[in-house]
């Protein structure tokens, strides 16, 4: 590619954030309600800048080290080893679920509220001294439970070990905490939501920084392109008669285009500058 080609093209900048193709999210996770940020380990995402001359682009990828355990979706009590990339927490949960008949259901009334309560859970609910869903008149009142420090600590400890519970673990934890299993379940759901929210904030900040850096990089490349265009215009008559063999790679560019510059975390290999070693290095150098 010569100067002529380079000068005919536009500079195209694309900023993106995509998952790696080898870990496609499952169909169920592609709904609008399930953004891929939580179903695919964050470490597999790559913010990228595409900058192209003549339609070809560089892809600058930045990988981010995120503790896989943070999202919690990869942890399951019965699967201490990391699950396959395509397995969702729900899949894992189901794999670990005991015989469904072990958990009876209540389909009438407040179905959602009590649907997963076994007879034992109902017993626990009856005996629970901390929560009373109905007042003396039998009218449902939404009283908000405040967990004690001990309860919170134990729940946190359990969450650290695993972010989802199977029914048996839920039962055991509820018994241990003198709470309803449903309350334990809700606590875990809310806890997962908070974790995700927190992670989203972190991701947002990270992307902002990426965007900033890539914007600067784009600005720099735009400037460089303009300089090359100016140079080409000025030297047009001279280069038109110059044999191609006399054009070679600028040694300065070769030295500086390598990756791993700590000051430029998203650096990309610079386009090589061609120059006439008979005269001087290019203006871009």
C-alpha separations of 14 from 18, 161, 226, 241 in Å: 12, 40, 19, 37
The nearer residue to DNA, 30 or 54, going by C-beta atoms, is 30
The nearer residue to DNA, 143 or 219, going by C-beta atoms, is 143
- Residue whose C-alpha is closest to residue 71's, from 41, 46, 91, 30: 41
Q: Tell me, what DSSP letter sits at residue 15?
A: E
Structure-token pair, residue 144: 């908000």
Q: What part of residues 220-279 is at the interface with DNA (CB under 7 A)?
A: none
For 198, the enclosing helix (H) or strand (E) is helix 181-240
d(Cα 173, Cα 240) in Å, to the nearest integer?
Answer: 81
Total residues interacting with DNA, rule: CB under 7 A: 50
Cβ 122 to DNA, closest distance in Å?
A: 13
77 binds DNA (CB under 7 A): no
- Which segment (9-17, 107-115, 238-246, 259-267) binds DNA by CB under 7 A? 107-115
The nearer residue to DNA, 140 or 222, going by C-beta atoms, is 140
d(Cα 220, Cα 223) in Å, to the nearest integer?
Answer: 5
Cβ 19 to DNA, closest distance in Å?
A: 15
Q: What part of residues 10-29 is at the interface with DNA (CB under 7 A)?
A: 26-28
- The sign of the CA dihedral 151, 157, 159, 162 is negative
Helix/strand/coil for 143? coil
86 binds DNA (CB under 7 A): no
Cβ 29 to DNA, closest distance in Å?
A: 8
Cβ 21 to DNA, closest distance in Å?
A: 20
135 binds DNA (CB under 7 A): no
Strand spans (E) along the chain: 12-19, 45-53, 56-61, 247-249, 274-276
d(Cα 155, Cα 145) in Å, to the nearest integer?
Answer: 14
d(Cα 267, Cα 2) in Å, to the nearest integer?
Answer: 23
115 binds DNA (CB under 7 A): yes
Structure-token pair, residue 249: 């790679």
Q: What part of residues 136-175 is at the interface with DNA (CB under 7 A)?
A: 141-147, 152, 164-165, 167
- CB of 11 within 8 A of CB of 222? yes
58 binds DNA (CB under 7 A): no
Q: Which of 59, 78, 160, 194 binds DNA (CB under 7 A)?
A: 194
**Residues in touch with DNA (CB under 7 A):** 26-28, 31, 33-35, 38, 73, 89-91, 93-94, 97, 100, 103-105, 107, 110, 112-113, 115-116, 131, 133, 141-147, 152, 164-165, 167, 182-183, 185-187, 189-194, 196
């Amino acid at each position: 590619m010569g100067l002529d080609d380079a000068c005919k093209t536009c500079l195209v900048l694309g900023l993106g954030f995509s998952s790696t193709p080898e870990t496609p999210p499952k169909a169920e996770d592609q709904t609008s309600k399930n953004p891929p940020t939580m179903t695919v380990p964050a470490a597999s995402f790559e913010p990228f800048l595409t900058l192209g001359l003549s339609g070809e682009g560089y892809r600058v990828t930045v990988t981010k080290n995120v503790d896989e355990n943070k999202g919690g979706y990869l942890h399951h009590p019965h699967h201490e080893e990391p699950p396959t990339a395509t397995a969702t927490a729900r899949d894992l949960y189901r794999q670990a679920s005991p015989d469904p008949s072990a958990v009876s259901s209540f389909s009438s009334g407040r179905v959602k509220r009590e649907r997963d309560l076994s007879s034992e859970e109902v017993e626990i609910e009856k005996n629970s001294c901390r929560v009373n869903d109905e007042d003396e008149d039998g009218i449902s009142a939404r009283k908000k439970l405040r967990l004690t420090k001990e309860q919170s600590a134990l729940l946190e400890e359990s969450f650290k070990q695993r972010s989802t519970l199977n029914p048996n673990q839920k039962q055991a934890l509820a018994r241990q905490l003198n709470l309803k299993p449903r309350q334990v379940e809700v606590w875990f759901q809310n806890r997962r939501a908070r974790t995700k929210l927190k992670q989203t904030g972190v991701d947002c900040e990270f992307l902002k920084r990426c965007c900033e850096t890539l914007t600067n990089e784009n600005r720099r490349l735009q400037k460089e392109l303009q300089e090359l265009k100016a140079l080409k215009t000025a030297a047009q008559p001279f280069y038109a008669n110059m044999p191609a063999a006399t054009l070679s790679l600028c040694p300065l560019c070769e030295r500086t285009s390598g990756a791993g510059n700590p000051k430029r975390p998203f650096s990309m290999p610079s386009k090589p500058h061609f120059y006439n070693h008979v005269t001087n290095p290019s203006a871009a150098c």
